[in-house]
Structure 1
Amino acid sequence: MKLIVEVLALPHHEGLDLPSYVSAGAAGMDLRAAVPADAPLVLPPGGRALAPTGLKIAVPEGYEAQVRPRSGLALKHGITCLNSPGTVDSDYRGEVGVILANLGQESFVVHRGDRIAQLVVAAHGRVEWDVVEVHGATERGEGGFGSTGRG
């Protein structure tokens, strides 16, 4: 199923690729850093910063866009996204930003056009609460935090 999402590229996105899937089975599209070419973003160990993407998106109602870390950056450099996954709601019209954090031991430099996060667009439902006195029983019951086995 194809979903059409409007995208508005801001002036500081000029020359960068739009988010895209890198393989046929990919769920996420790579987001790129829209930092100035002459002023890369430097994340010291323990540091965090908001990286611009230069994009505004109009997510259709009933969907959200989730900003998620890239596994390669996390494993190789300790770079992750805070507030993960970050949610872009259907009524948000500002620039998509990525809150990057450096959990590694060395400074990490984000250059213009670097792939910094993934964007997954997913359907979601809306909840109406039904206040009850008792829940129906399940085999698991109230067991949590590792109660179903390993870990």
Structure 2
Amino acid sequence: MEKRNVKICWLDPEKNKDLLLPVYQTELAAGMDVRAAVEGPYLLESGAVHLFPTGFAVAISPGYELQVRPRSGLAVKHGVTVINSPGTIDADYRGEVKVALINLGKMPFLVNRGDRIAQLVLAPVVQAQLELVTKLDETSRGRGGFGHTGL
């Protein structure tokens, strides 16, 4: 499996010495679990959205992004997911990585310091070069939109 370096630093090393850096939980995992750097317990009410700190920043090589994705267990068991999934950390961003969670479940969800709240996936990026044309090529689908093929 190909590996790429991603530089990472704690924004306040003394304050975050109790936290772990993002880590792959298994040998072939695509995503690294990322932990909440909340000061104390935070109750995410049903229907609420909150931006959770991680305490670190990254430097990603040009041509890549870090995608912030939900953890499947939180989504399935509690209805807690990343609201802008996948979130994107661009190669030129140097601020704190944060995770926007929404609680779609019926019960409040407690997030404690150090809880695994999302996963980060390094992915290649290809930028589009737009070409203005007067007409697009025809396809068999044409302008068929949402649900045009039935259930």
- TM-score (normalizing by structure 1): 0.90
Give me the CA root mean square deviation. 1.4
Identical amino acids, percent of aligned pairs: 53
Q: Which residue of 1 aligns with 2:54?
A: 53
Q: Which residue of 2 aligns with 1:64?
A: 65
| Counterpart-to-counterpart distance in 1, 2:24 and 2:114 | 15
Q: CA deviation at 1:144?
A: 2.5
Q: CA deviation at 1:56?
A: 0.3
Runs of 5+ in structure 2 lacking a partner? none
Q: Which residue of 2 aligns with 1:16?
A: 19
Runs of 5+ in structure 1 lacking a partner? none
CA deviations 1:98-149 (Å, max 9, x no partner) are: 1111111111110111110011111111111111122222232222212345
| Counterpart-to-counterpart distance in 2, 1:96 and 1:127 | 25
Choose 138-147 or 27-36, whichever is displaced more.
138-147
Q: Which residue of 1 aligns with 2:99?
A: 98
Q: CA deviation at 1:35?
A: 1.4
The number of equivalent residue pairs is 148
Quick check: 1:13–1:53 contact (8 Å CA) kept in 2? no
SS of corresponding position for 2:101: strand
| Counterpart-to-counterpart distance in 1, 2:77 and 2:31 | 19
Q: Which residue of 2 aligns with 1:5?
A: 6
Q: Which residue of 1 aligns with 2:36?
A: 33
Q: CA deviation at 1:81?
A: 1.1
Q: 1:21 to 1:149 in 2, by over 3 A?
A: farther
| Counterpart-to-counterpart distance in 2, 1:31 and 1:13 | 13
Q: CA deviation at 1:95?
A: 0.4
Q: Which runs of 4+ in 1 moved over 4 A?
A: none
Quick check: 1:43–1:49 contact (8 Å CA) kept in 2? yes
Quick check: 1:45–1:105 contact (8 Å CA) kept in 2? yes
Q: CA deviation at 1:68?
A: 1.0
